[in-house]
Amino acid sequence: MMDKELKKEKNIKEDLLSQSLEDYLEAIYIINIDKKVVRVKELAVFLNVKTPSVVDAVSKLGKKGLVNHEKYGYLSLSKTGNSIARTIYSKHNYIYKLLNEVLGVDDSNSKEDACGIEHHISKPTLDKIVKFMNFIEENPDAYGEFIKNFNKYLSSLK
Protein backbone atom coordinates (compact mmCIF):
# COMPACT_ATOMS: atom_id res chain seq x y z
CA MET A 1 0.00 0.00 0.00
CA MET A 2 2.78 2.43 0.94
CA ASP A 3 4.66 1.70 -2.31
CA LYS A 4 1.48 2.46 -4.24
CA GLU A 5 1.11 5.86 -2.49
CA LEU A 6 4.77 6.75 -3.11
CA LYS A 7 4.49 5.76 -6.75
CA LYS A 8 1.33 7.90 -7.08
CA GLU A 9 3.11 10.87 -5.43
CA LYS A 10 6.10 10.44 -7.77
CA ASN A 11 3.81 10.36 -10.82
CA ILE A 12 2.01 13.51 -9.67
CA LYS A 13 5.33 15.30 -9.16
CA GLU A 14 6.42 14.17 -12.61
CA ASP A 15 3.19 15.62 -14.02
CA LEU A 16 4.45 18.83 -12.41
CA LEU A 17 2.02 20.74 -10.31
CA SER A 18 1.97 24.39 -11.23
CA GLN A 19 3.23 26.90 -8.68
CA SER A 20 -0.34 27.95 -8.15
CA LEU A 21 -1.57 24.42 -7.41
CA GLU A 22 1.35 23.88 -5.05
CA ASP A 23 0.34 27.10 -3.27
CA TYR A 24 -3.22 25.80 -2.89
CA LEU A 25 -1.99 22.51 -1.44
CA GLU A 26 0.30 24.30 0.98
CA ALA A 27 -2.46 26.72 2.01
CA ILE A 28 -4.89 23.88 2.75
CA TYR A 29 -2.16 22.23 4.80
CA ILE A 30 -1.42 25.42 6.76
CA ILE A 31 -5.07 26.21 7.45
CA ASN A 32 -5.60 22.61 8.51
CA ILE A 33 -2.85 22.95 11.15
CA ASP A 34 -5.01 25.37 13.15
CA LYS A 35 -8.47 24.16 12.14
CA LYS A 36 -9.96 20.73 11.71
CA VAL A 37 -11.80 21.73 8.55
CA VAL A 38 -10.99 23.94 5.59
CA ARG A 39 -13.64 25.76 3.59
CA VAL A 40 -13.38 27.23 0.10
CA LYS A 41 -13.99 30.76 1.43
CA GLU A 42 -11.20 30.42 4.02
CA LEU A 43 -8.82 29.30 1.31
CA ALA A 44 -9.82 32.25 -0.89
CA VAL A 45 -9.18 34.71 1.95
CA PHE A 46 -5.89 33.02 2.90
CA LEU A 47 -4.56 33.21 -0.66
CA ASN A 48 -6.24 36.53 -1.44
CA VAL A 49 -8.01 35.13 -4.51
CA LYS A 50 -11.62 34.92 -5.63
CA THR A 51 -13.81 31.96 -4.75
CA PRO A 52 -14.18 30.75 -8.38
CA SER A 53 -10.37 30.52 -8.61
CA VAL A 54 -10.35 28.31 -5.53
CA VAL A 55 -13.11 26.10 -6.91
CA ASP A 56 -11.19 25.69 -10.19
CA ALA A 57 -7.91 24.86 -8.42
CA VAL A 58 -9.60 22.46 -6.00
CA SER A 59 -11.25 20.72 -8.94
CA LYS A 60 -7.86 20.24 -10.63
CA LEU A 61 -6.30 18.98 -7.40
CA GLY A 62 -9.26 16.67 -6.89
CA LYS A 63 -8.77 15.17 -10.36
CA LYS A 64 -5.15 14.47 -9.43
CA GLY A 65 -6.33 12.72 -6.26
CA LEU A 66 -4.74 15.28 -3.94
CA VAL A 67 -7.80 16.99 -2.46
CA ASN A 68 -11.18 15.70 -1.39
CA HIS A 69 -14.06 18.14 -1.73
CA GLU A 70 -17.76 17.63 -1.47
CA LYS A 71 -19.76 20.28 -3.31
CA TYR A 72 -20.43 23.10 -0.83
CA GLY A 73 -18.53 21.08 1.77
CA TYR A 74 -15.16 20.94 3.42
CA LEU A 75 -11.78 20.43 1.80
CA SER A 76 -9.30 17.85 2.93
CA LEU A 77 -6.02 16.58 1.60
CA SER A 78 -5.69 13.00 0.49
CA LYS A 79 -2.80 11.00 1.90
CA THR A 80 -0.71 11.83 -1.16
CA GLY A 81 -1.84 15.46 -1.14
CA ASN A 82 -0.90 15.78 2.51
CA SER A 83 2.54 14.30 1.85
CA ILE A 84 3.22 16.69 -1.04
CA ALA A 85 1.86 19.69 0.91
CA ARG A 86 3.99 18.82 3.95
CA THR A 87 7.08 18.70 1.70
CA ILE A 88 6.26 22.09 0.15
CA TYR A 89 5.61 23.59 3.60
CA SER A 90 8.88 22.20 4.94
CA LYS A 91 10.84 23.63 1.97
CA HIS A 92 9.20 26.99 2.51
CA ASN A 93 10.10 27.02 6.22
CA TYR A 94 13.76 26.12 5.68
CA ILE A 95 14.18 28.75 2.97
CA TYR A 96 12.31 31.36 5.03
CA LYS A 97 14.52 30.69 8.07
CA LEU A 98 17.69 30.96 6.00
CA LEU A 99 16.60 34.26 4.49
CA ASN A 100 15.11 35.79 7.63
CA GLU A 101 17.10 34.41 10.55
CA VAL A 102 20.50 33.90 8.95
CA LEU A 103 20.74 36.52 6.23
CA GLY A 104 18.57 39.08 8.01
CA VAL A 105 16.15 39.67 5.15
CA ASP A 106 13.02 41.42 6.46
CA ASP A 107 9.98 39.29 7.26
CA SER A 108 7.84 40.38 4.32
CA ASN A 109 10.54 39.79 1.71
CA SER A 110 11.59 36.52 3.36
CA LYS A 111 8.03 35.18 3.11
CA GLU A 112 7.56 36.30 -0.48
CA ASP A 113 10.98 35.10 -1.65
CA ALA A 114 10.67 31.76 0.15
CA CYS A 115 7.36 31.20 -1.60
CA GLY A 116 8.95 31.80 -5.00
CA ILE A 117 12.13 29.84 -4.34
CA GLU A 118 10.34 26.79 -2.92
CA HIS A 119 8.90 26.03 -6.35
CA HIS A 120 12.21 26.08 -8.19
CA ILE A 121 14.91 24.95 -5.80
CA SER A 122 16.79 21.79 -6.70
CA LYS A 123 16.91 18.89 -4.28
CA PRO A 124 20.72 19.12 -3.82
CA THR A 125 20.49 22.83 -2.98
CA LEU A 126 17.61 22.30 -0.58
CA ASP A 127 19.50 19.42 1.07
CA LYS A 128 22.45 21.78 1.69
CA ILE A 129 20.14 24.43 3.16
CA VAL A 130 18.54 21.84 5.45
CA LYS A 131 21.96 20.61 6.60
CA PHE A 132 23.17 24.16 7.15
CA MET A 133 20.07 25.11 9.15
CA ASN A 134 20.38 21.93 11.23
CA PHE A 135 24.06 22.69 11.80
CA ILE A 136 23.40 26.17 13.12
CA GLU A 137 20.58 24.92 15.36
CA GLU A 138 22.91 22.28 16.81
CA ASN A 139 25.81 24.75 17.16
CA PRO A 140 24.40 27.97 18.61
CA ASP A 141 27.84 29.32 19.55
CA ALA A 142 29.16 28.96 16.02
CA TYR A 143 25.93 30.49 14.73
CA GLY A 144 26.21 33.46 17.07
CA GLU A 145 29.79 34.08 15.96
CA PHE A 146 28.81 33.72 12.30
CA ILE A 147 25.94 36.22 12.65
CA LYS A 148 28.16 38.67 14.54
CA ASN A 149 30.82 38.53 11.80
CA PHE A 150 28.26 38.67 9.00
CA ASN A 151 26.54 41.74 10.51
CA LYS A 152 29.95 43.38 10.99
CA TYR A 153 30.70 42.71 7.33
CA LEU A 154 27.32 44.16 6.25
CA SER A 155 27.97 47.28 8.33
CA SER A 156 31.32 47.77 6.65
CA LEU A 157 29.62 47.91 3.24
CA LYS A 158 27.51 50.95 4.11
Closest CA to 30 of 136, 106, 115: 115
Give the Cα separation of 35 and 129 in Å (integer).
30
Domain region containing 108? 89-156
Q: What are phi and psi of 69, to 5 degrees?
A: -150, 120
| CATH number, domain containing residue 144 | 1.10.60
Residues 66 and 7 in one domain: yes
pLDDT below 70 — which residues of the chain? 1-16
Specify whether the CB–CB gap between 110 and 99 falls below 8 A: yes
Domain's final residue, options 84, 118, 148: 84
Residues 52 and 126 in one domain: no
Each residue's pLDDT tens digit, 28-73: 999 999 888 899 999 999 999 999 999 999 999 999 999 998 877 8
Specify whether the CB–CB gap between 111 and 95 falls below 8 A: no
How many domains does the structure of the chain reveal? 2
Give the Cα separation of 66 and 18 in Å (integer).
13
Domain's final residue, options 42, 57, 84: 84
Domain's final residue, options 21, 53, 84: 84
